Amino acid sequence: MRGSFHIATIAGIQVRIHFSLLLILPLFAYLFGAIYLNAAHSAPFAPEVSRGSAWLFGALMAVALFVSVLLHELAHSLYARAKGGQVREITLLMLGGVSQLTQMPTKPSQEALMAFFGPLSSLGLGTLSILAARLVPAASAFPAHFGLFYFGYLNIFLGVFNLLPAFPMDGGRILRALLTRPLGRPRATRVAATVGKVFAGLLFVLGLFSLNLILMLVALFVWFGAEGERQSETLQSAVEGVRIRQVMRSNPTAIPADARLEEALEAMRQSRRELLFVVEGLVDGMTARRFMGVITLERLTQRTLAQRAIESVAELTIPVKTLSPDDSLISALRVMSERDAPLAMPVVDETGALIGVLDRDEIARSLRFLEIEAQERQARERVGFVRRGEERP
């Protein structure tokens, strides 16, 4: 995800922090610190609390909250991976976290359980924290007692909130999984997304009348999350069955491996491209032979003018993943979503010859038309459903 940076790797899963989290952490620290001050002043047995110690408490509580969000997302991810899913990374955001799966579990029941494991972990962590708070005497260890109790309360709230049957919360995913068999996945997604938007609207109105900025931000997060899920499923339906050969560009800019670097630079200048596909040779100046890799403008400009005149392209060629024309577009999108994937990917036939290129611009154009076709198909299905209902006696 753009705007995020890597902080750790847990069980082979990258953990990243989005910059928005760094913006919201001081606000959460301030709110938790203020709550701690009020609790200390209202408790007759609490010691005198300075503002410095209150803000320290708030900062620790804010960090602990997002650690629990990480555990929540890890529960999702580890279950998904155990059931055949592929997890790329977990990103902690301003108002929660997201697990980015390149491949979901195939069965609706597995998706439902995957969604349920997150809230279950939050509820379990919250219960344990509250039980631990009961073992710590409030009179002699008020900060630890209150911290454990409030941390438990936050996690139970997190678990219950995520079980609400509305996208993008986990409850919305459970609802979709339950509706997938009778309605099909596209319609089940639309129903869950609509429920999510209705809930977001109610939440925003409540936040507006109570002047609660956090509640309004959560409402916007839910609204855009629900719409994102709907668009993602529409796109998924649109590309189902589409093969790479249907959307690839068949005239990739290639250069022979034995060409000089200065020739590669000139080819980049003329084509206005910063990447060329390297092949063993060219037939009739067009049809590529065996694909070898790519050469980039960044690597090429690291060579001096004299070096470019004598060194061959093969010396700077970088091997990259390739696609087959018969691969599904869905699988190609998974490959291209990887963090180190190039902007344009070579398509080779069974002999290893370069026959096309799949780039993000071409995919975006193709997906736009496929999405329009999917929307038109869904509209026709809805009209047909209404007409069938009218025809019933």
**DSSP secondary-structure letter at 316?**
G
| 3-state DSSP assignment of residue 156 | helix
Long-range CB contacts (within 8 A, 24+) of 99-106:
99/73, 100/1, 101/77, 102/334, 102/337, 102/338, 103/334, 104/80, 105/80
Answer yes or no: do 194 and 48 share one domain.
yes
Whether the per-residue pLDDT at 370 is higher than 80: the answer is: no
Answer yes or no: do 346 and 330 share one domain.
yes
Residue at 369 is within a domain: no
Distances in Å between the Cα of 328 and the Cα atoms of 79, 290, 369, 373, 374 are 26, 22, 17, 18, 17
Number of structural domains (the chain) is 2
Query: Dihedral of CA 50/51/52/57: which sign?
Result: positive
Determine the number of helices (DSSP H) and then strands (DSSP E) in the chain: 13, 11
Q: What is the pLDDT of residue 92?
A: 84
Answer yes or no: do 30 and 92 share one domain.
yes
Answer yes or no: do 255 and 113 share one domain.
no
Answer yes or no: do 167 and 28 share one domain.
yes
Answer yes or no: do 82 and 175 share one domain.
yes
- Give the whole-number percent of the chain exceeding pLDDT 90: 10
Q: What is the pLDDT of residue 127?
A: 94
Whether the per-residue pLDDT at 148 is higher than 80: the answer is: yes
CB atoms within 10 A of CB 63: 13
Answer yes or no: do 293 and 188 share one domain.
no
Residue at 375 is within a domain: no
What digits encode the pLDDT tens for the residues 242-300? 788 888 888 777 888 888 999 999 988 888 888 888 988 654 455 547 888 889 888 88
- How does the average pLDDT of the chain come out, rounded? 81
Whether the per-residue pLDDT at 339 is higher than 60: the answer is: no
Domain boundary among 239, 266, 283: 239
Answer yes or no: do 183 and 102 share one domain.
yes
Whether the per-residue pLDDT at 392 is higher than 60: the answer is: no
Q: What is the pLDDT of residue 125?
A: 93
Q: What is the pLDDT of residue 122?
A: 93
Q: What is the pLDDT of residue 107?
A: 78
Residue at 372 is within a domain: no
Q: Distance between alpha carbon 256 and the CA centroid of its chain, in Å?
A: 38
Question: Would you place residue 131 in the very low, low, confident or very high pLDDT band (cuts 50, 70, 90)?
Answer: very high
What digits encode the pLDDT tens for the residues 186-220? 788 888 888 888 888 898 999 888 888 778 888 88
Q: What is the pLDDT of residue 345?
A: 85
Query: How far apart, in whole angstroms, are the C-alpha atoms of residue 232 and residue 78?
Result: 23
DSSP states of 203-248: HHHHHHHTT-HHHHHHHHHHHHHHHHHHHHHHHHHHHTT-BHHHH-
Answer yes or no: do 132 and 254 share one domain.
no
Mean pLDDT calculated for residue range 232-248? 75
Q: Among candidates 104, 321, 326, which has minimal Cα distance to 232?
A: 104
Answer yes or no: do 253 and 175 share one domain.
no
Residue at 14 is within a domain: yes
Answer yes or no: do 62 and 89 share one domain.
yes
CB–CB of 122/160 below 8 Å? no
Answer yes or no: do 163 and 114 share one domain.
yes
Residue at 80 is within a domain: yes
Domain boundary among 209, 239, 269: 239
Domain boundary among 180, 215, 239: 239
Of residues 375 and 330, more confidence is placed in 330
| 3-state DSSP assignment of residue 91 | strand
Q: What is the pLDDT of residue 128?
A: 95
pTM (2 d.p.): 0.67
Mean pLDDT calculated for residue range 325-338? 77
| 3-state DSSP assignment of residue 123 | helix
Residue at 41 is within a domain: yes
Residue at 298 is within a domain: yes
Q: What is the pLDDT of residue 338?
A: 64
Residue at 57 is within a domain: yes
| CATH code where residue 344 lies | 3.10.580.10
Q: Among candidates 307, 148, 169, which has minimal Cα distance to 229?
A: 169
- Range of 225's domain? 4-239
Of residues 281 and 134, more confidence is placed in 134
| 3-state DSSP assignment of residue 350 | coil
